Amino acid sequence: MNKISDFFSRTSRKRVLCQSFFFGAIATMGVISNTFSLGSKAYGQTPAPIANNTQINSYAQAVLAMEPARQNAFEEIKKLIGNGEIPKIVCNDSNSINGLPRKAQDIAVNYCNRSQKIVQDNGLSIDQFNKITIELQNNDILKQQVYNTLLRLQKSPDSP
């Protein structure tokens, strides 16, 4: 399988990869996120890290594996809807899916099911994946770790 980086010049590869992966990760969160509620927390002196290196690697592998399917689903739904704005699709929110035309609903449900399987096949629960995705929005250290892992996986000959 061709690597995404093969399609870009060396000068813009890093910038394009960064934008693509993080926009993809954020979009993926919107598509497969579960209701995420935080209960009361006991705060200690040092908060536990949201993810360890194994989880970060699994997260990055899942994002890379989901991205082509996400782009395909988005393009298919875009064709069906036409010039209209594509609404935010959240897998566990039936209202977000039910508001789509029937064929688009099928595409969204199929994508949600495939994404859930990809996440689980990469060793994470949906809750773990969603927690990391949410944390990426506010944690620059985690964002850099995921970014570096995505770059490393893209350079690796046996990447997904």
* 40 located within any domain: no
What pLDDT score was predicted for residue 100?
A: 86
* 45 located within any domain: no
Domains of the chain: total? 1
* 39 located within any domain: no
Give pLDDT tens digits along the chain (160 positions): 444 434 344 434 444 444 454 445 444 444 444 333 334 344 454 455 678 899 999 999 999 999 999 899 989 998 988 877 887 888 777 888 888 889 999 999 999 999 999 999 999 999 999 899 999 999 999 999 999 999 999 886 665 5
Question: Is residue 82 left, alpha or beta, with left meaning phi > 0 and alpha meaning psi from -120 to 50?
Answer: left
What pLDDT score was predicted for residue 8?
A: 40
Residue 146 and residue 60 in contact, taking contact as beta carbons nearer than 8 Å: yes
What pLDDT score was predicted for residue 27?
A: 46
* 160 located within any domain: no
In the block, tokens 């006991």 appear at 42
* 42 located within any domain: no
What pLDDT score was predicted for residue 37?
A: 34
* 94 located within any domain: yes
Between CA 141 and CA 135 the distance in angstroms is 10
